[in-house]
């Protein structure tokens, strides 16, 4: 999913990222949670930029980022046979339009 030519100085894509985060002070996670898994859609000129922006935003939200796994762009995911629903496509389009990081899913983690 690329921005139309001329709309942005550098072409942007939206990347799907799976983030593992630990606890931080005032992170808003439920009591007893040891961390969280987050699915994020992040815009960037490349995946490295999308990861950097995502980590920065999550740090501002008081989460302690432990690991980030990239799953590629919409086109790359489709080429791998991933089925992507309309809601996720809309969130990806929003991330591109707003040059943003969208947290599509947050799952608190409990236990060891």
Note the pLDDT tens digit of each residue in 1-55: 555 544 553 589 999 999 999 998 888 999 999 999 999 999 999 999 999 999 9
Q: CB neighbours (10 Å) of residue 16?
A: 24
Residues 48 and 42: their CA atoms lie apart, in Å, by 10
Q: How far apart are CA 64 and CA 22, in angstroms?
A: 5
Confidence of residue 82 (pLDDT cuts 50, 70, 90): very high
Averaged pLDDT, 78-97? 96
The CA distance from 12 to 15, in Å, is 10
Higher per-residue confidence, 112 vs 36: 36
Q: Provide the 8-state DSSP code for 2.
A: -
* 110: pLDDT strictly greater than 90: yes
Token pair listed for 20: 């593992």
* Per-residue confidence (pLDDT) for residue 2, from 0 to 100: 53
| Predicted pLDDT at 111 | 81
- What is the per-residue pLDDT for 1? 57
Average pLDDT in the chain: 91
């Amino acid at each position: 999913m690329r921005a139309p030519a001329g709309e942005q100085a550098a072409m942007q894509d939206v990347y799907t990222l799976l983030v593992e985060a630990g606890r931080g002070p005032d992170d808003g996670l439920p009591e007893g949670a040891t961390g969280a898994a987050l699915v994020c859609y992040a815009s960037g000129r490349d995946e490295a930029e999308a990861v950097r922006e995502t980590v920065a935003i999550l740090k501002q939200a008081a989460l302690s980022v432990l690991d980030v796994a990239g799953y590629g762009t919409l086109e790359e995911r489709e080429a791998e046979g991933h089925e992507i629903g309309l809601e996720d496509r809309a969130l990806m389009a929003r991330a591109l339009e707003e040059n943003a990081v969208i947290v599509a899913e947050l799952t608190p983690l409990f236990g060891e």
